[in-house]
Amino acid sequence: MGYLDEDLYRKVRPLLPFPCADVVVVVRRVEVLLTKRAIEPIKGYWHLPGGRIDFGEDPVDAAYRQLEEETGITKEQAGKLQELRTANYVFPRRHDISITYLASLTFKPAVKLNFEASDYTWAPFQNLPSPI
């Protein structure tokens, strides 16, 4: 199977969904890790660590990669991920299909944000920040 010409790819790419892997990092079943987006899309919104699955990448591997890239939390710290759900998000100019995983921790690991986030919080489930 061949690849599309780069110009044609740029034209059809916005019409196709992005596969994504996100991680719900929960500590002692009472707090969840949220990061605040520093870049578009959804700049200024709180969200779960995660992002696009690369071509040929296993979704679980993508979840671990995204978690470490965005928060510095390693695979070893996160432990075994549990698949929670697959969700379909349609925005005005893009379509994401997200596989969401759970990392259930008994401790709060150090968080080191990359350029994609401006802040983070360990939010109690009953008091989540806004906007999400």
**Mean pLDDT per 10-residue run, the chain (132 residues)?**
77 88 97 96 93 95 98 98 93 88 97 97 95 88
- The whole-model pTM stands at 0.88
Coil/strand/helix, residue 43: coil
